[in-house]
Amino acid sequence: MKTPPSRTLFLSGMDVKLYPDPESASIAAAMLIEQVIVDARAKRGKAVLGLATGSTPRRVYAHLVARHRAGELSFRDVSTYNLDEYYPIAANDPLSYHTYMYDNLFKFIDLAPERAHLLDGTISEGLAGAHAGLFERSIEADGGLDAQLLGIGRNGHIGFNEPSDLTPEAAIKLGTRLVELHPTTRSDAAAEFGSVERVIPRALTLGIATILSARSIIMLATGPHKAEAVAGALLGPATAQLPASLLSYAAARTTWLIDHAAARGLE
């Protein structure tokens, strides 16, 4: 059931919609994605989605699957590109984002397997740069991302673009690449991996430049643990120390969907 936002704010040039709980924020995200698919299909005969992993988007995928099962939504002419993948990791590893996407979305919908693109965690290190470049060129050749779904890390990361000392101007030019995970990211992944020492310390991530080039960006943030990063990104300056704040460079194309717990710092 769709719930209307309980409040809409306009912060750093971005639409920010507040919802009472994670469920209603996630339904709103799923409905936005569905609308993007419908509009892009009408305009170009296909839709290209940038997808995210983590705990936040699970509910979004559950709603998209429900819409598909109800016969209301097809992914036949959709292509998807995922934000990131651990490195190194095998696609069939239970902790890979390949596995996550298959388990949460792909196995339930009519998306053609060859249209579901993920960065390859088995590529040799010497070829990682070329692989990242090829991934970006595939997105371009597909006509660019109609929508990029994002979550926010507790440290403000988007994808695995972690906090850095770069100037904002340099950070927004970052391309798809192999990166080291930030200590906060590793600690947040510890439960999944069994301990912080077992978290794979590197990853391949879509660059900030590629994220910002999407025709629409949907940022979904839920839970009290996200409140500080959300407030910093929406109320503070654009800084590479808090990568989500750099979404203000694509302000007119970005929508934040936030539950009340994550919005606590905005009051």
Q: State yes or no: residue 148 binds ligand PGA (CB under 6 A).
A: no
DSSP 169-218: HHHTT--SEEEEPPHHHHHHHHHHHSSGGGS--EEEE--HHHHHTSS-EE
**Part of the chain binding ligand PGA (CB under 6 A), chosen from 31-39, 54-62, 171-179, 250-258:** 54-62
Furthest CA-CA distance within the chain: 50
Q: Which one among 88, 121, 153, 207 touches ligand PGA, defined by CB under 6 A?
A: 153
Q: Which stretch binds ligand PGA (CB under 6 A): 17-25, 52-60, 90-98, 136-144?
A: 52-60
Contact yes or no for 84/160 (Cβ under 8 A):
yes
Q: Tell me which residue has its CB nearest to ligand PGA.
A: 54
Q: How many other CB atoms are there within 10 angstroms of residue 133's CB atom? A: 13
Q: Kindly state whether residue 88 participates in binding ligand PGA, applying the rule CB under 6 A.
A: no
Total residue count of the chain as it appears in this document? 267
CA distance 127 to 105: 29
Out of 63, 98, 157, 260, the active site residue is 157
| Residue 50 lies near ligand PGA (rule: CB under 6 A) | no
Interface segment toward ligand PGA; rule CB under 6 A; list 21-29, 49-57, 96-104, 135-143: 49-57
Indicate whether 151 belongs to the interface with ligand PGA (CB under 6 A). yes
Which CB, 216 or 222, lies closer to ligand PGA?
222
**Of 54 and 232, CB closest to ligand PGA:** 54
Q: Which strands form 14-19's sheet, in the order they lie side by side?
A: 7-11, 14-19, 254-259, 217-221, 147-150, 47-51, 78-82, 116-117
Decide if residue 35 touches ligand PGA (CB under 6 A).
no
For 64-157, strand residue ranges (E) read 78-82, 84-87, 116-117, 147-150
Whole-angstrom Cα distance, residue 161 to residue 184? 13
Q: Which is nearer to ligand PGA, 93 or 142 (CB)?
A: 93
- List interacting residues with ligand PGA (CB under 6 A): 54-56, 151-153, 157
Q: Which residues are the active-site residues? A: 84, 155, 157, 162
